[in-house]
Amino acid sequence: MSRSQADYFFGYAGLSHDSGPDHPESPARLSCLLPVLESRVKKGKGRFLDLRPEPDLSAYRASHDFHHVDFLESLTPSAPSVNLDGDTRVGPPTLRALREIAGALRDLSAVPTGTVRRVFCALRPPGHHAHFHGGMGFCALNHLAALAVLRVQANPSETILVLDFDVHHGNGTFDILTRLLPQQQFLFISTHRYPFYPGTGSGRENREGPLGEGVLDIPLPAGTDDEDYRTVLEEWILPRWDRFAPATVLVSAGFDGHVADPLGDMALTEKTYRRIGEVLAERERGLSACFLEGGYSLPALAASVDAFLSGWERE
């Protein structure tokens, strides 16, 4: 594999997870990415990894309340679907999808600190709103936070940067990291529209430790465009990232800040996503793993993921 390639996990079981009729978090969000990834593989840009499902959800037990994990494991084929909140439905296909994602977490948690690996995870349901006690906002479990906890368990000196560029604040990831990880070992950076769902991320909880660790919430107004985002990236995110110099970077890759997205009301284009991919590649010192979060215009999602990967793979 050339150094500039990424590996892809594609969650076929995620295609069966059903959020409900006319729900924006649809299986088509995942299926529209398959031709994008296949085309990149054909051109030698990336490669697919085998995604082997786990028999259970034990990968999530260190990062979520066991009652919630027990409940999700009870979604056997004869169980009815259940609404976790007004827009988050789970059922037996959700359990299959989550066991598949647990397989990705198992493999990613075993990558040694300092080994350069680049992995894009095209999976659903998304995860960044799921908090310690349960699911919310289209998310049943928090994959990125689960991986962060597993990696710190495997290597107690691990340092992790989380970058969340979804248009919504990564409240669930914030909750789990601040609750469970030693504070000197992570830097959580989230750019998001504010005020907006889920209501958190104002910047009041920002803090900076002596090594650059801590929390950097960057609330943005509706209508934020590429030029605005470039300023935020250059002046706020990169100096803090470079100061912390993390071994591992985990990304909540949400593309609902795109100008064509029906939910976000922002004005970003593929240009921003490509640039984020580039800065990720420029700062690589170990594992970089990206998890698909939001993005609800199918053409914009497909084009944005392609642009992001082009930047990341230094095309």
Instruction: Give me the active site residues, please.
Output: 129
- State the virtual CA torsion across 109, 114, 118, 119 in degrees, nearest 10: 0
What sign does the dihedral 147-189-33-69 (CA atoms) show?
positive
Ramachandran quadrant class, 200 (left: phi over 0; alpha: psi -120 to 50; beta: rest): beta
Nearer to Zn ion, 134 or 257 (CB): 257
Residue type, 262: P
Nearer to Zn ion, 258 or 274 (CB): 258
Distances (CA, A) of 175 to 77, 153, 161, 172, 311: 31, 18, 15, 5, 30
List residues binding Zn ion (CB under 5 A). 166, 168, 254, 256, 294
Strand runs (DSSP E) across 43-91, as ranges?
Answer: 46-48, 82-85, 88-90
Nearer to Zn ion, 166 or 306 (CB): 166
Please, are residues 287 and 108 in contact by the beta-carbon 8 Å criterion? yes
Minimum distance from residue 229 beta carbon to Zn ion (Å): 15
Q: Tokens 């037996």 sit at which residue? A: 92
Minimum distance from residue 258 beta carbon to Zn ion (Å): 11
Minimum distance from residue 171 beta carbon to Zn ion (Å): 11
Nearer to Zn ion, 75 or 176 (CB): 176
Minimum distance from residue 311 beta carbon to Zn ion (Å): 20
Please, are residues 201 and 207 in contact by the beta-carbon 8 Å criterion? no
What sign does the dihedral 202-312-29-84 (CA atoms) show?
negative
Which residue of this chain has its Cβ atom nearest to Zn ion in the complex?
294
Nearer to Zn ion, 103 or 135 (CB): 135
Minimum distance from residue 257 beta carbon to Zn ion (Å): 8
